[in-house]
Structure 1
Amino acid sequence: MIEILKNKMTPESILTSGFGVEREGLRVTKQGKLAMTPHPPIFGDKLKNPYITTDFSESQIELVTPVFFSVDETYDFLEALTDIVIGEIGTNNELFWPYSMPCHIPDDKQIPIATYQGEEGKEPRQYRERLMAKYGGKRQLISGIHYNFSFSDDFLITIWQELGSRESFKAFKDRIYLKVLRNYLRYRWLLIYLMGCTPGLHNSYIEECLQCMGDCGNETFLSPGGTSARNGNCSGYKNEIDLYPDYRSIESYIKSINAFVERGDISEAKELYAQIRLKPRDYRNTLDSLAKDGVQYLEIRTIDLNVFDKCGIAKIDLEFLNVFMLFLLLEGEEFFDTWQQEALVNEVTVAERGLEPDLELLDHRHWTLKTAWAEDILEKVAEINKYLNLEQDQCIKEMQSRVRQPETTYAYRLKLLMQESGCLDANLKIAKDYKRQSDADHYRLKGFENWEMSTQVLIKEALTRGIKVIPMDAADNIVRLEKNGRREYVKQATKTSVDNYITPLLMENKVVTKKILQENGLPVPNGEEFFSFVEAKKKLIKYVGRNVVIKPKSTNFGLGISIFDQGGTLDELLKGARIAFEQDNTILIEDYLPGLEYRFLTMGDEVVAVLHRRPANVVGDGLSSIRQLIDKKNQHPYRGDGQTSPLKKIVLDDQSLMYLNKQGLTSQSIPKSNEMIFLRGNSNISTGGDSIDFTQKMHPYFSEIALKAVRAFGAKFCGIDIILEDYCNPDSSFGIIELNFNPMIVMHAYPFEGQERRLGYNILKTIGLVE
């Protein structure tokens, strides 16, 4: 088989498998006690959110990634979901417990079993009640990583065709997955050693399990050589008796599971707590679907949460698992009656004593040193990697290092921390560190960093609320959103089906915009159009010394705008005209309106946010030049390229230098301490301006003016720029200078000053995907 892979497939296609991760975890208080609050309602119906749901308890969150075909995509999506959960539960002063074994937990009667809505929620609830009665609630709170794996169809079809097998493709695929499953059971002990990360328990856990470990103080019990209490006999989550399904064929497997159910060992197929599961197409009818449709993928359930990674599993471990699954496919098999029992002995032995230096395991009914056997397996994996040019050397060397240096394993490292601080404090510190990391970078959505920020805001909200997100085109920022069978396509966050095609065409033409506003009794600045620089040169003389604005007719983002709020010479006005003509073949000159500029953001029939956009500026410290102050201000974490960051970095261009010159300044001037120096007249965020939230401060009269303007165009999403002298006084003079279709929303979502606005929700509400 390996020759087929070598000769018929590329390394990339060999490694292209289907990957998915389910990560469980408890919500805890800042004191490390189990959170008794309900599952956060923002995550919606537990049975319908495809990404964030519950497991056994209301307090036990489960994150589910879609299937991806690269490790990077899978990990990034898992990190995005992890950050979302950390952020949302953080608003309730809760933390995401990073450890597989439970935190400080109450008696079973106080553990809140997950509740569900409607008729379809009765069965999941009843199933959990049966588990509580049979196994107890404390074991049910054990959390972990479920790794879902499938070979690509191209991979399997290539092998099937090259082998010339006469069996159907379904039968061939079932046989492949059964072989991988059997070998996984044989070698799962190695993953427990390499990725085990539960060396101890908090003393609120089951008393009889605590007795299997040593009391090290700080309410903590530790196993001296243990790697994974979660997979051990005493503390772990297992069936009441050891069950050994028949994995020779799908038919024999189904027959053995039915026998377990008939005997009363388990209530149904999903109660078999195997280390690896055959997964069907229809999870509601597991056995029937396996018989009809065959195996769709494998679910590995061995892996502990890795407390040293925010996501609960390190990317390098996912990379190794990919190669390891290939090894399991290619490795031969030796059958004997008790091979499953032997595999279970090795599992428990490594879970409970895996760090002991001279530990021996059963290898085909013979005792062998764990270290030597692990080295031999990893050497085989390395040979496969080299022969097939897979270039996975780094992850393999990392695993070899963990075998040769047990002190580098997760279990050993965590044991030291728990010896020092105790189970509770050690894991609380880690949880708090991850919260700080997530909070510091909360405006970026992992895996979508290359999407413009407004689209990231929408995607994040959709994921949070369980609306399915299908990226269509990252370069064009187009996504498809799905909920309850309904589809909505969205471009750049606010280009949606609810607006008419004519709306943006009208708004991008500033002359037409002014006419429509005037027809609706709304004030706009006076001005005229110039269609060529020659025309401007002839007519600009009459504007010398007047307070005016020169701007392109049809561009956005503040490009090409020059403001002369103190009047300008003819040369200065001509220079402003040249700059505007660089952006458009028609330009406008308008009266400058006194006051400050405010952006009103409307969605649907309401103003959802208002902010003042302060023009690009620096504040002096009495020591630094303007150029140096700009460099310092550009270090703010919100400032970047303006597309993948909430704010744009300030650039010293011709317009800003001209504006400084009007003030008698240069880039080398040193402002006084606390003196604010403006670098431009226009206040656009895209030219380095500051966003300052005014949503609660703005007088409602002006919000009604903004809505009146929007209704004149029939727009559902709009940004209205209004110049106001006094935002508190409805009698203040004002003028509308611009309407913007597809307005930038990130500056409202993450303002430079003031309250952040949750605008992804308003978008979803406007297009009818949430109430």
Structure 2
Amino acid sequence: MLDLLKTQFESEELLLGEYGIEREGLRVDAEGRLALTPHPKVFGPKLGNPYITTDFSESQVEVVTPTYTSMSKTHRVLTDLCDIVNNQIGEEYFWPQSMPCDIPEDDQIPIAQYGSSCQKAIDAEEYRKGLSARYGSKKQLISGIHVNFSFTEEFIQKFHRIYGKGESYKDYRDRMYLKMVRNFLRYRWLVIYLTGTSSTMHETYIAECVAKMHPTGDGSYIHPTCVSFRNSDCGYKNEEPLYPSYESIQAYTEDVRRFVARGDISAPKELYTQIRMKAEGVDNILESLENDGIKYLEIRTVDLNPFELTGLAMVDLDFIHSLMLYTLLKEESNYMDWQQEGLDNEEGVAVEGLNTEILLTRDGQPIQLKDWALEILDELCEMSEILNLNYGETLLTMIARVKDPKQTYAYRIRELTKEKGFIQANLDLAKKHKEISWNRRYATQAFTEYELSTQILIKECLNRGVQVTEIDPSDNFLILESRGVKHYVKQANKTALDNYITVLAMENKVVTKIILKEHGIPVPDGIQIDAPDQSKHWAQVFAGRPIVVKPKSTNYGWGISILDQGGSVEDIQKAIGIAFEYDDTVLIEEFLIGQEYRFLVIDDELVAVLKRVAANVVGDGQSTIRDLVALKNQDPRRGVGYQKPLKKIVFDEQTLLYLKLQGLTPESIPEQGVQIFLRGNSNISTGGDSIDVTDTMPQKYKDLAVQAARAVGAVFCGVDIMIEDVAKENSSYGIIELNFNPSTDMHAYPYQGQERPIAAYTLKALGLIDDIGLTEEDA
């Protein structure tokens, strides 16, 4: 079969599949105690959010990635989901360890609350109550990683054409996956050894399990040879071992029905195996397996890795992928008691895996763990090399863990626990993960090909359980779906809610001014130039007067020159020439004195106001303007293009012209504390600073912004208002322009001030969520 894979498949085909990851984890307080607060409201109804929900307990978060064809993309989305959780749980922490934190007694552990809104909610809650009664709530708090794996249908179809003659496609696919399940159960001990990380626990866990450990002080317990208590008899296990048949789907479903009928388990999903066969149907899993066949496999062996923010290192995910290919290719033994042997090896490695002399059994014969593990890994290396899978480095890492147990996660977390204590060791890691998530909160890890505003929208969709379908990343085009509502969205807020004529009216600054004037809204006076040869005449007319020169139909401050101190004929002609590079028509308007503000209106609601400060530097008496700009551009929030919430300052024609009007050059050295502006326009896209002033802006200006958006019929609208002195009751003001497709990242993550949940307002306007979900602190 290995030769078939080599000749019939490209390596890229072997790496493609349908992959998903589920990660459970407890919410804890600053002392490492189980958080007894409700599941955060911002995640929405538990049954309505497929990405962030709860597991057994109200305090136990479960994140679930959508499926992707790449393991790497799936892992990056898991990173985004974990970042979201870290940033949305306030002062709590996302516990990084499989074994529970400092936990109360069973009757004080809150079972996930689903309410009584529907039968599914009632059933979910009742099922958890049954688990608590049967196993105790403490055991249910153990958390882990589930990796969902399937080949592409095209991959299986190729196999079926070669090996499945005379057999239906469904039957062949089931037979293929069943072989993989059987082999995985034979080799699951290796996954436990290589990824096990639950070798320590706290004194508040189940007493008879704590009694098997060694105390180290501060309520911490370790075990000298343990790899994974989660996979031992103290972990997530059925009360008695259950061995369903994996020879066929029919045999399997018959056995599981028998287990339920005699009371061994209450439902098929209570069969706690290391790997599960999953079908299309969720609520009727056995019938769906029989009728539709196996859709994918759920690998449930992996402990949370506390050293990783996601709980799962990419190198371990690559190893699991290579092992799953191995389970397809590896010939099976005909040893009859393979299931019992597999369980004995599993539990032996879980408790004694760090014992260098540990013996396992293979087909009834003893064999050292190290010898068998290296034999399997050598075969995986050969497979990787022949199939060109590029898993060489991954497998060398695994070989090193086998040869030196001190390189295992289990050993590392045990030593860290001895040094810091169970609670402090894991809490420090959780705090580190939270800080990392906070520092990159404005961006995603999995959707970096999109501009930042679109990334923020995708992140909010994951947060709220809105389904995202990527159509064209290069054009920032998505499909968003929830509750039967479907929208095409481009660049974060180009949607069907704004009609075409509204966009055209805002795009054309002349038309915008006419519409606003008709509605009694003040705008600056000005003239229109339709040909470059008119520039000298109008430059002479406006020479010495404070003016703004701008293209008729651009966004983001492109082509705009602000001569707020007036300019010479030559300066104005140059500004007109710059504007003509962006459009066939140029406007010259009076310069309105004051401060420019960007008001963001979404669906007739004023949601944010920014004070936009033009690109600037503050002198230190020693550095040139060029050096000060370079220093300011080092802020990690500044970037080029649309990947960061702030933009780097550049020395272009407009910058040089504006400095010239002040009698300066990039080599000038400003005095200590002197602020030098590099542009007249205050667009964030040209290096300006964004300062949120939503809460302090007088209501009359907020109402004016909403009125202006209504005047052009815009649902999403950026309203630029120049206000002479916002503190004065009768200050002069005027609307400079209206912007379709307004940038939202600068409101979500301003340079200074409160961050606003703009993407949530967008989803609400689209009818994809019911409310913004602000806490009292955010409101």
Q: TM-score, normalised by structure 1?
A: 0.98
| Distance (whole Å) between structure 1 residues aligned to residue 474 and residue 129 of structure 2 | 48
User: Paired residues, what number?
Assistant: 768
Residue equivalent to 1:249: 248
| Distance (whole Å) between structure 1 residues aligned to residue 387 and residue 769 of structure 2 | 49
Q: Deviations over 1:676-696 (max 9, x none)?
A: 000011111111111111111
Cα deviation for residue 539 of structure 1 reads 2.9
Residue type at the aligned position of 1:66: P
| Distance (whole Å) between structure 1 residues aligned to residue 256 and residue 702 of structure 2 | 65
Residue type at the aligned position of 1:655: Q
| Distance (whole Å) between structure 1 residues aligned to residue 402 and residue 171 of structure 2 | 37
Tell me the SS of whatever aligns to 1:197.
coil
Structure 1 residues 265-284: aligned runs within 5 Å: 265-284=264-283
Residue type at the aligned position of 1:288: E
Residue type at the aligned position of 1:726: D
| Distance (whole Å) between structure 2 residues aligned to residue 519 and residue 127 of structure 1 | 63
Residue type at the aligned position of 2:227: T
Residue type at the aligned position of 2:94: F
CA contact (8 A) 1:4 1:159 kept: no
CA contact (8 A) 2:164 2:172 kept: no
Residue equivalent to 1:104: 102
The alignment status of 1:466 with 2:445, answered yes or no, reads no
The alignment status of 1:123 with 2:123, answered yes or no, reads yes
Residue type at the aligned position of 1:58: E
The alignment status of 1:187 with 2:201, answered yes or no, reads no
Residue equivalent to 1:289: 288
| Distance (whole Å) between structure 1 residues aligned to residue 593 and residue 411 of structure 2 | 67
Cα deviation for residue 411 of structure 1 reads 0.5
Structure 1 residues 45-56: aligned runs within 5 Å: 45-56=45-56
CA contact (8 A) 2:202 2:221 kept: yes
The alignment status of 1:14 with 2:11, answered yes or no, reads no
Residue equivalent to 1:435: 434
| Distance (whole Å) between structure 1 residues aligned to residue 34 and residue 3 of structure 2 | 53
| Distance (whole Å) between structure 1 residues aligned to residue 715 and residue 164 of structure 2 | 60
Higher deviation after alignment, 477-486 or 202-211: 477-486
The alignment status of 1:588 with 2:576, answered yes or no, reads no
CA contact (8 A) 1:180 1:329 kept: yes
Cα deviation for residue 164 of structure 1 reads 4.7
| Distance (whole Å) between structure 2 residues aligned to residue 487 and residue 539 of structure 1 | 50
Residue equivalent to 1:358: 357
Residue equivalent to 1:407: 406
Residue type at the aligned position of 1:3: D
Cα deviation for residue 735 of structure 1 reads 1.1
The alignment status of 1:682 with 2:684, answered yes or no, reads no
Residue equivalent to 2:573: 574
Cα deviation for residue 11 of structure 1 reads 0.7
CA contact (8 A) 2:485 2:767 kept: no
Residue equivalent to 1:236: 235
Residue equivalent to 2:132: 132
CA contact (8 A) 1:699 1:730 kept: no
How many percent identity over aligned positions? Answer: 51
Cα deviation for residue 165 of structure 1 reads 2.4
Residue equivalent to 2:777: none
CA contact (8 A) 1:613 1:690 kept: yes
Structure 1 residues 71-220: aligned runs within 5 Å: 71-89=71-89, 91=90, 93-117=91-115, 118-119=117-118, 120-220=120-220
CA contact (8 A) 2:200 2:413 kept: no
| Distance (whole Å) between structure 2 residues aligned to residue 388 and residue 229 of structure 1 | 36
Tell me the SS of whatever aligns to 2:166.
coil
Residue type at the aligned position of 1:98: P
Task: Name the CA shift for 1:729/1:770 in 2 (closer, same or farther; >3 Å).
Answer: farther
CA contact (8 A) 1:701 1:730 kept: no
Runs of 4+ in 1 over 2 A off after TM superposition: none
Higher deviation after alignment, 530-539 or 711-720: 530-539
| Distance (whole Å) between structure 2 residues aligned to residue 727 and residue 469 of structure 1 | 41
CA contact (8 A) 1:699 1:729 kept: no
CA contact (8 A) 1:19 1:149 kept: yes
| Distance (whole Å) between structure 2 residues aligned to residue 714 and residue 60 of structure 1 | 45
Tell me the SS of whatever aligns to 1:277.
strand
Higher deviation after alignment, 492-501 or 298-307: 492-501
Structure 1 residues 548-559: aligned runs within 5 Å: 548-559=547-558
Cα deviation for residue 104 of structure 1 reads 0.2
Tell me the SS of whatever aligns to 1:32.
coil
CA contact (8 A) 1:15 1:323 kept: no
Structure 1 residues 255-404: aligned runs within 5 Å: 255-404=254-403
Gaps of 5+ in 2: 771-779
Residue equivalent to 1:710: 709
| Distance (whole Å) between structure 2 residues aligned to residue 343 and residue 40 of structure 1 | 40
Q: Deviations over 1:135-171 (max 9, x none)?
A: 0000000000011111111111111111252111111
CA contact (8 A) 1:642 1:649 kept: no
Gaps of 5+ in 1: none
| Distance (whole Å) between structure 2 residues aligned to residue 48 and residue 765 of structure 1 | 15
CA contact (8 A) 1:598 1:612 kept: yes
Residue equivalent to 2:540: 541
Structure 1 residues 465-544: aligned runs within 5 Å: 465-544=464-543
Cα deviation for residue 248 of structure 1 reads 1.1
Residue type at the aligned position of 2:139: R
Residue equivalent to 2:725: 726
Cα deviation for residue 218 of structure 1 reads 2.3
Residue equivalent to 1:603: 602
Cα deviation for residue 338 of structure 1 reads 1.6
CA contact (8 A) 1:604 1:717 kept: yes
Residue equivalent to 2:37: 37
Q: Cα RMSD (Å) of the superposition? A: 1.0
Cα deviation for residue 396 of structure 1 reads 1.1
Q: Deviations over 1:707-753 (max 9, x none)?
A: 22111111111011111111133411111111101111111111111
Tell me the SS of whatever aligns to 1:216.
strand
| Distance (whole Å) between structure 1 residues aligned to residue 280 and residue 363 of structure 2 | 34
Cα deviation for residue 462 of structure 1 reads 1.7
Residue type at the aligned position of 2:686: T
Q: Deviations over 1:83-117 (max 9, x none)?
A: 0000000x2x1000000000000000000001113
Tell me the SS of whatever aligns to 2:366.
strand
Tell me the SS of whatever aligns to 2:284.
helix
CA contact (8 A) 1:149 1:298 kept: yes
| Distance (whole Å) between structure 1 residues aligned to residue 568 and residue 364 of structure 2 | 96
Q: TM-score, normalised by structure 2?
A: 0.97
Q: Deviations over 1:35-88 (max 9, x none)?
A: 001111111111121101111000001000111111111001100100000000
Tell me the SS of whatever aligns to 1:23.
strand
Residue equivalent to 1:625: 624
Cα deviation for residue 450 of structure 1 reads 2.2
CA contact (8 A) 2:56 2:140 kept: yes
Cα deviation for residue 521 of structure 1 reads 1.2
Q: Deviations over 1:634-678 (max 9, x none)?
A: 011211014111011000112111211221211111111211000
Residue equivalent to 2:776: none
CA contact (8 A) 1:698 1:728 kept: no
Cα deviation for residue 325 of structure 1 reads 0.4
Tell me the SS of whatever aligns to 1:159.
helix
Cα deviation for residue 337 of structure 1 reads 2.8
| Distance (whole Å) between structure 1 residues aligned to residue 480 and residue 365 of structure 2 | 56
| Distance (whole Å) between structure 1 residues aligned to residue 607 and residue 2 of structure 2 | 60
CA contact (8 A) 1:693 1:753 kept: yes
Residue type at the aligned position of 2:475: D
| Distance (whole Å) between structure 1 residues aligned to residue 751 and residue 401 of structure 2 | 46
Higher deviation after alignment, 535-544 or 272-281: 535-544
Residue type at the aligned position of 2:703: E
Residue equivalent to 1:23: 23
Residue equivalent to 1:647: 646
Tell me the SS of whatever aligns to 2:475.
coil
Residue type at the aligned position of 1:555: T
